[in-house]
């Protein structure tokens, strides 16, 4: 069925697409959304149930969303900072309770006091510029924090490689660039797979759906270095033979959407990329898609379904996107930071970029530091840097006692403060010690913040954001939340063996990393904070 719907969506393509039509109909203020959605279904010759199913999936397209005037953040970093209630009290001075909504991370984890109103980020109390963000690097030649400068000069590097796509691919291979979205998959493998796939149409898709609470590196790149991202996509297209690029940006980042759209217009006006008339140096055309509120769209196959206007559930793999991706065509799909590294690699050489990291984790990595640090903000860090250096020297240490750091988002490992000296910033070190580097966003857990409350929050987050396609994630997250909320609210003991079985089922049976990744931080918590958690569980021997 999904292949048939995909084919119908592909007939229109990306201009006035099925997704745009669904979002436009759902946002309509005359509350005739269902009727308009049926018109969309007729226009695209698809079933009404499929269109309603897609529309009902997104947070921003729900009827309740339309009545909200302001949105506060309910991400992990804001929760652990203790400032959530302060923000709510401030908003209640101006707004009614039913006018205040929530969004899963506004990407302002370095301040912990942001809210969204009229499409703009503002800070509670007005303390500081909402766009201000401390950025720094310990790399001799920063690859990502360097301004892009004049775009004509910046994109002139593309002309050098126009006739040498294989040479450009070899530089990517020499760099050892691994995906910066969390999985760390070798980027050149995706590119070569797509290049060698036989098809008359190919795509490049940038995953800008940075939904992990605690991470805001992609947000900064999209807002402050959009051309670094677009150049990387353009070059990937030249290498693979793709002529179309899609930048999918989460709806919680309205400024990023605006900045990237402006950057695309600049490229079209400068004749660097194809515009409405198609007269450009390259025939590569960009499209910007604004998400409608769904964390799971950060999973690559869910994101592809979303762009196509289908219900954004996770696809089974194989086939992988490099062979069967957007509209069933070969697609290189990677995250913002990955694409942003390509200019440096092609200008300075793959080996120069690789030399800034380790053998298996080459290059640099952007690290997001939350508001608990004395120097919160964004760091570009050489892979292999000791985590003690990242935390205490580059981050300035914490402003208050911290007992753990959750690294890599809500599905990342929970690292006790006592284990920091055992880790270096690279994929291998974290995996070896039983953690996960992931996106490298760091959320601090204060000494007085109950770990049981953090676990309850993580299960609630997964329950809310699950696409629902597989039972282990959909039911497992709900059952886990019930157990934990019962323990915190009603003093109900959790059967430890039952809980362990639940974690195993989610880890082994879930289709994607949402349900499959949640058990990692939970197991870390049980291992390192067992003494604190014991009162909520029965013993295994009981």
Q: Is the pLDDT of residue 485 over 50?
A: yes
Residues 172-197: pLDDT tens digits?
999 999 999 878 899 999 999 999 99
| CB-based contact 195:169 (threshold 8 Å) | yes
The full set of domain ranges for the chain reads 2-56, 65-126, 142-353, 361-446, 451-536
| CB-based contact 350:324 (threshold 8 Å) | no
- Nearest partner of 313 among 471, 202, 459, judged by Cα: 471
CA atoms within 13 A on the CB side of 268: 14
Q: Which residues pair with 162 in a beta bridge?
A: none
Report the pLDDT value the prediction gives residue 481, as an integer from 0 to 100: 96
Average pLDDT over residues 426-444: 95
Report the pLDDT value the prediction gives residue 282, as an integer from 0 to 100: 67
Report the pLDDT value the prediction gives residue 184, as an integer from 0 to 100: 83
Phi then psi for residue 278, to 5 deg, are 75, 5
| Number of helical H runs and strand E runs in the chain | 25, 14
Name, of 8-17, 41-50, 518-527, 533-542, the range with top average pLDDT.
518-527
Instruction: Write down the H helix ranges in 308-450.
Output: 336-340, 342-348, 350-354, 387-388, 427-432
Q: Is the pLDDT of residue 204 over 50?
A: yes
Average pLDDT over residues 111-132: 76
Report the pLDDT value the prediction gives residue 278, as an integer from 0 to 100: 47
CATH number belonging to the domain at 142-353, selected among 1.20.140.10, 1.10.287.90, 3.40.50.11540, 3.10.180.10 = 3.40.50.11540
Residues 329-352: pLDDT tens digits?
999 999 999 999 999 999 999 999
Residues 354-377: pLDDT tens digits?
999 999 999 999 999 999 999 999
- Nearest partner of 131 among 287, 291, 258, judged by Cα: 258
- DSSP per-residue codes, 429-452: HHHHTT---TT-EEEEEETTS-HH
| Residue found under tokens 């999209």 | 222
Q: How confident is the model at residue 542 (pLDDT cuts 50, 70, 90)?
A: very low
| CB-based contact 414:525 (threshold 8 Å) | yes
Q: How confident is the model at residue 31 (pLDDT cuts 50, 70, 90)?
A: very low
User: Rounded mean pLDDT of the chain?
Assistant: 91
What's the full length of the chain, in residues?
A: 542
- DSSP per-residue codes, 119-136: TEEEEGGG-S-TT---EE
Report the pLDDT value the prediction gives residue 135, as an integer from 0 to 100: 93
Phi then psi for residue 481, to 5 deg, are -65, -40
Report the pLDDT value the prediction gives residue 192, as an integer from 0 to 100: 97
Name, of 126-140, 243-257, 264-278, the range with top average pLDDT.
243-257
CATH number listed for the domain at residues 361-446: 3.10.20.600
As a whole number of angstroms, the distance between CA 154 and CA 359 comes to 29
Q: Is the pLDDT of residue 29 over 60?
A: no
Q: Is the pLDDT of residue 123 over 80?
A: yes
Q: How confident is the model at residue 67 (pLDDT cuts 50, 70, 90)?
A: confident
Name, of 2-6, 275-279, 398-402, the range with top average pLDDT.
398-402
Q: How confident is the model at residue 130 (pLDDT cuts 50, 70, 90)?
A: very low
Residues 395-417: pLDDT tens digits?
999 999 999 999 998 889 999 99
Q: How confident is the model at residue 128 (pLDDT cuts 50, 70, 90)?
A: very low
As a whole number of angstroms, the distance between CA 540 and CA 297 comes to 37
As a whole number of angstroms, the distance between CA 411 and CA 110 comes to 20
Report the pLDDT value the prediction gives residue 33, as an integer from 0 to 100: 67
Q: Is the pLDDT of residue 441 over 50?
A: yes
Report the pLDDT value the prediction gives residue 317, as an integer from 0 to 100: 87
* Strand 70-73 to 114-117 pairing: antiparallel
Query: 3-state SS string over 74-117?
Result: CCHHHHHHCCHHHHHHHHHCCCCHHHEEEECCCCCCCCCCEEEE
- Within this chain, domains 142-353 and 361-446 share the same CATH topology: no
Average pLDDT over residues 246-273: 94
| CB-based contact 194:239 (threshold 8 Å) | no
> Furthest-apart CA pair in the chain: how many Å?
74
Q: Is the pLDDT of residue 454 over 50?
A: yes
More confident: 7 or 106: 106
Determine the topology of domain 451-536 in CATH: de novo design (two linked rop proteins) (1.20.1440)
More confident: 98 or 283: 98
Average pLDDT over residues 200-222: 95
Write out the CATH class of domain 65-126: alpha beta
Burial class (CB in 10 A: 0-12, 13-18, 19+), 22: buried
């Amino acid at each position: 069925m999904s292949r048939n719907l995909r084919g119908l969506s592909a007939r229109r393509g990306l201009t006035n697409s099925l997704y745009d039509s669904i979002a436009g109909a759902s946002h309509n203020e005359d509350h005739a959304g269902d009727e308009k959605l049926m018109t969309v279904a007729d226009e695209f010759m698809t079933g009404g149930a499929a269109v309603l199913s897609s529309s009902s999936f997104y947070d921003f397209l729900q009827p309740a969303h339309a009545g909200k005037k302001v949105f506060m953040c309910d991400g992990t970093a804001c929760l652990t900072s203790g400032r959530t209630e302060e923000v709510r009290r401030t908003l209640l001075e101006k707004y009614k309770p039913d006018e205040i909504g929530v969004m899963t991370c506004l990407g302002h984890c370095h301040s912990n006091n942001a809210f969204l109103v009229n499409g703009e980020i503002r800070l509670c109390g007005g303390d500081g510029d909402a766009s201000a963000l401390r950025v720094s690097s310990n790399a001799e030649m920063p690859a990502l924090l360097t301004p892009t400068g004049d775009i004509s000069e910046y994109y002139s590097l593309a002309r050098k490689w126009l006739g040498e796509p294989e040479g450009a691919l070899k530089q990517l291979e020499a760099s050892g660039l691994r995906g910066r979205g969390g999985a760390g998959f070798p980027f050149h493998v995706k590119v070569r797979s797509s290049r060698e796939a036989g098809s008359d149409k190919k795509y490049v898709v940038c995953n800008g759906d940075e939904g992990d609470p605690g991470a805001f590196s992609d947000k900064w790149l999209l807002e402050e270095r959009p051309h670094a991202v677009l150049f990387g996509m353009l070059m990937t297209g030249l290498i693979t033979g793709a002529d179309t690029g899609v930048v999918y940006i989460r709806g919680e980042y309205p400024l990023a959407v605006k900045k990237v759209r402006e950057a695309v217009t600049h490229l079209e006006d400068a004749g660097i990329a194809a515009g409405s008339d198609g007269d450009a140096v390259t025939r590569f055309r960009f499209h910007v898609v604004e998400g409608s509120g769904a964390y799971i769209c950060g999973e690559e196959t869910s994101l592809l379904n979303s762009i196509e206007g289908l219900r954004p559930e996770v696809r089974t793999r194989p086939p992988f996107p490099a062979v069967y991706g957007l509209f069933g065509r070969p697609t290189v799909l990677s995250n913002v930071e990955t694409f942003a590294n390509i200019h440096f690699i092609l200008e300075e050489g793959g080996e120069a970029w690789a030399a800034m990291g380790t053998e298996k984790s080459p290059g640099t990595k952007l690290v997001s530091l939350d508001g608990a640090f004395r120097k919160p903000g964004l760091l570009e860090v050489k892979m292999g840097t000791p985590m003690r250096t990242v935390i205490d020297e580059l981050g300035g240490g914490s402003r208050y006692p911290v007992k753990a750091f959750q690294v890599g988002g809500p599905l990342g490992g929970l690292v006790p403060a006592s284990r920091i000296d055992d880790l270096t910033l690279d994929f291998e070190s974290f995996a070896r010690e039983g953690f996960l580097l992931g996106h490298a966003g760091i959320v601090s857990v204060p000494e007085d913040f109950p770990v049981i409350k953090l676990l309850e929050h993580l299960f609630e987050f997964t329950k809310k954001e699950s696409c629902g396609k597989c039972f282990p994630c959909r039911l497992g997250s709900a059952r886990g939340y019930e157990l934990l909320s019962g323990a915190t609210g009603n003093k109900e003991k959790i059967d430890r063996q039952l809980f362990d079985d639940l974690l195993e089922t989610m880890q082994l049976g879930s289709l994607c990393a949402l349900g499959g990744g949640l058990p990692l931080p939970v197991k870390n918590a049980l291992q390192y904070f067992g003494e604190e958690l014991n009162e909520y569980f029965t013993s295994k021997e009981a």
